[in-house]
Amino acid sequence: MSSVLSQASLKLHARVADQIGLAIVRGDFKPGDALPPEVQLCEMLGVSRTAMREAVRALAAKGLIDSRPKRGTLVRGAEHWNHLDPDILRWTVEVTDTETYLKKLFQLRRATEPEAAALAAIAATEVDQERMTKAYQAMVDAGADNEKWVEADLAFHKSIYLATHNEFFWPIGQMFGVALRQMFAFLAQGSHRPRAVIEHGDLLRAIIERKPAMARAAALTLLGNATHDVDKISQTDFSGGV
């Protein structure tokens, strides 16, 4: 019985953190603003002080707020947030317009993915290569199924970051599991798949053949054409000056 209660409490404080966190990311509370007092928040959200305190601790761990005695709970600036945190990513996706969101993601991918591919070509084990190959084959087999295509595409790119065997790249790969889903779903609307299959195959081959320069170039080609595809679908320039 106590285990059931603890799980219910966990879900409750997670829901409370979700409501407050989304409000902060949306800008309902500005940096430096104090959140309403604990009692008021409990009344507003209909929860106990225990659940509220757990939620506040979770949000503080994500860098969204700073809670101190006599000062209250203050909202921190976005530069302090853990933007790789899955919840913060999810909230950001919910409140950011598609144009800005995709533009920033392309900037990040250009800065990291070609080098991750080159490192993977050097460090990938047989297990890594098998994981990438399996994800690539799933893309080929997805056919016209958008959902299967997106899942396979996400798995392929995540596997590249894991194959670097550099733990500082791993969080970026994990983040893309959340952050790139919207981008890949958006691209799935286009007619680029035959070319994308070839480009992903070229990238996979370069990594398996342990050719870092070729892997880097293949990643850049893939990203360049993906940028063009998004631009074509949305009539928006996502080059970002990079």
pLDDT digits (tens, 9 = 90+) for 199-216: 999 999 999 999 999 999
Beta carbons of 51 and 13 less than 8 angstroms apart: yes
DSSP bridge pairs for 74: 34, 66
185 or 23, which is more confident? 23
* CATH top-level class of 1-80: mainly alpha
Alpha-carbon Rg for the chain in angstroms:
21
Confidence (pLDDT) at 181? 76
At residue 64, does pLDDT exceed 70? yes
- The predicted structure's pLDDT at residue 189: 61
- Determine the Cα–Cα distance for residues 51 and 154; give it in Å rounded to an integer: 34
SS3 178: helix
Q: Categorize the per-residue pLDDT at 198 as very low, low, confident or very high, splitting at 50, 70 and 90.
A: very high
Contact 35, 73 (CB under 8 A): yes
Higher pLDDT, 234 or 173: 173
Overall fold of domain 97-237: Four Helix Bundle (Hemerythrin (Met), subunit A) (1.20.120)
pLDDT band at 191 (very low <50, low <70, confident <90, very high): low
Separation of alpha carbons 36 and 225, rounded Å: 48
3-class SS of residue 27: coil
- Range list of H helices, the chain: 2-26, 38-45, 49-61, 86-95, 98-123, 126-142, 146-163, 170-187, 193-208, 212-234
Distance of CA 233 to the CA centre of its chain: 22
Residue position matching structure tokens 């302090």: 80
* Residue 117: alpha-carbon gap to chain centroid: 18
pLDDT at res. 56? 95
Q: How confident is the model at residue 228 (pLDDT cuts 50, 70, 90)?
A: confident
Q: Indicate the domain borders of the chain.
A: 1-80, 97-237
Question: Exposed, middle or buried, 194 (CB in 10 Å: 0-12/13-18/19+)?
Answer: exposed
Of 71-80, 97-106, 147-156, the one with minimum mean pLDDT is: 97-106
Mean of the per-residue pLDDT values of the chain: 87
pLDDT tens digit string along 2-38?
343 344 545 888 999 999 999 999 999 999 999 999 9
Each as own residue / partner, the long-range contacts of residues 75-79 (CB below 8 Å, 24 or more positions apart, any chain) are: 75/24, 75/29, 75/30, 75/31, 75/32, 75/33, 75/34, 75/35, 76/31, 77/31, 77/32, 78/31
Angle between helices 126-142 and 193-208 (to 10 degrees): 170
